[in-house]
Structure 1
Amino acid sequence: MLEGLSTEVLIKESIYTAILFIWVLIVVIPLTKFTYNVMVKKGTTHIKAVYYNRKIIHILAGGVVSIMIPLLGYTTPLTIIPMLILLFLATYIPHKTGKLLYWFQDPDNINEVNFVIMWGAVMITSWVVFKDWVYGVVPVAFMSFGDGITGIVRNALYNKRNKSWFGNLAMAIVTVPVGQIILGLPGAFAGLVASIVEHFEIHSKIDDNITVPLVSFLIILGFRLFGI
């Protein structure tokens, strides 16, 4: 990973990462804390406000940052690893200590930690395997924007966390065109399958934040191996 990398490049990309990390903190703390207070004051239940905020974070933090990685011309995943470690700790430790960030964390749902892990795993693997961020950005986009829209639709329709095919339809409307535009048929097919997979949770610890990016990435990888 360090081959051909200059100190100047590492410093530049580290600065980019610091800026992106600050952006994530802005989204996670003042922004969604503000939206939580606004929603609750308008009569939204606590848990509903929490799940709206989780999807806002999906989109504005996870989704936007994934897009910025290739746009900023990152040449190594090394400089984003410290950010991922910090975000993992920032989301996991509150669950471990019981001191939750109440405006977006649910004591019965640790899936935001899985989101951070899978974001990093898919993005880094994309670069290591393909030397191209796009194969990570697409699955992460499905997880961030697609699942984000799904959750917003479900949250608007129901007063509890549940799965709904209406949400999955909304997700497909996002993921299939995005996949098609960026990667053609492999991307569109991966987007369709991801929209279906999101509906199911294999186990309480294997949620859609794991299955959506993982299945999407494996489908895209399979197409690449067959030269499609």
Structure 2
Amino acid sequence: MLVLPTVTAEELIYDILKAIPLFIYIVFLVRFVTKHLYNFMISKGLKHNVAVYFNRKIIHMMSGGIVALLVPLLFIEPFVPMFFAYLLAIAIYLPHRSRRITSWFQTEDNIYEVNFCVAWGTSIFVLWILTGDPWIAILPALAISFGDAVTGLVRNIVFGYRTKHWVGNIAMAIVMMPIGYVFSGLIGSLAMGIASIVERIEINPVDDNIFITLAVTAIIAINYLLTL
């Protein structure tokens, strides 16, 4: 059954006030920190596409991952996290729209970072509303934040370019299946294992961020409904 959190206007405002510093942190990370990291990597001889790819994965972990872990600790409902995720998606999409991308982490051939924000916020909202458990609700977000980042970092280190080689999927499974177990037992571990396989699927404009969150959300949701 759906669990709609009962919140007062005061509680909602309080959640918004807690979300604002996190939003500012993400903007600072994306606009300033990773820009300097990009310049540093280029100065060390890394190719543009490699530096961009590293930055995207750093953003995955340092924004999506860390903030996802803070969601159950800070928020009493899923509406505000989803709203700010969508707001961030719009902010990141606008440079694509104006054809003036932030070149240190965006590419002209896809808007996968926008997909990430939408998938992150939507999956947390859906599972929180369905299960009433914010810790279970963040599993898909953790999968695309830490799990997908691990695949990219490992592949980039091994091959030096963007690829969907299985070595990344194995690394993701090794990291994420124990995390899934901690948060949701065997079903969480299974969901992360499936997510590690699904990560290889990419059909532009739909990318692995979408497929991973769909897979994890579906597995958790089906298991929850079957155990009612």
TM-score range, shorter chain: over 0.9
**Alignment: residue pair count:** 226
Tell me the distance in 2 between the aligned counterparts of 1:219 and 1:81. 21
Picking from 35, 38, 48, the partner of 1:36 is 38
Map of 1:203-214 to 2, 5 A cutoff?
A: 203-214=203-214
Structure 1's 4 and 205: CA in aligned 2 closer, same or farther, altered over 3 A?
Answer: closer
Residue 227 (structure 1) aligned with residue 219 (structure 2): no
Residue 75 (structure 1) aligned with residue 105 (structure 2): no
Normalised to the residue count of structure 1, the TM-score between the two structures is 0.94
Map of 1:136-147 to 2, 5 A cutoff?
A: 136-147=137-148
Aligned-partner SS, 2:138: helix
Picking from 18, 21, 24, the partner of 2:23 is 21
Q: Percent identity?
A: 41
Structure 1 moving runs of 4+ over 6 Å: none
Tell me the distance in 1 between the aligned counterparts of 2:41 and 2:5. 49
Tell me the distance in 2 between the aligned counterparts of 1:176 and 1:78. 28
Please tell me the residue identity of whatever aligns with 2:60.
H
Please tell me the residue identity of whatever aligns with 2:48.
H
- Deviation (angstroms), 1:80: 2.8
Tell me the distance in 2 between the aligned counterparts of 1:219 and 1:134. 15
Tell me the distance in 2 between the aligned counterparts of 1:116 and 1:3. 22
Residue 166 (structure 1) aligned with residue 171 (structure 2): no
Give the corresponding residue for 1:56.
58
Tell me the distance in 2 between the aligned counterparts of 1:85 and 1:198. 22
Structure 1's 5 and 90: CA in aligned 2 closer, same or farther, altered over 3 A?
Answer: same
Aligned-partner SS, 2:124: helix
Tell me the distance in 2 between the aligned counterparts of 1:216 and 1:169. 17
- Deviation (angstroms), 1:64: 0.8
Give the corresponding residue for 2:198.
197
- Whether the 8 Å CA contact 1:62–1:144 is kept in 2: the answer is yes
* Consecutive unaligned residues in structure 1, runs of 5 or more: none
Give the corresponding residue for 2:157.
156
Higher relative contact order (Cα pairs below 8 Å, separated by 6+ residues): 2
* Consecutive unaligned residues in structure 2, runs of 5 or more: none
- Deviation (angstroms), 1:144: 0.5
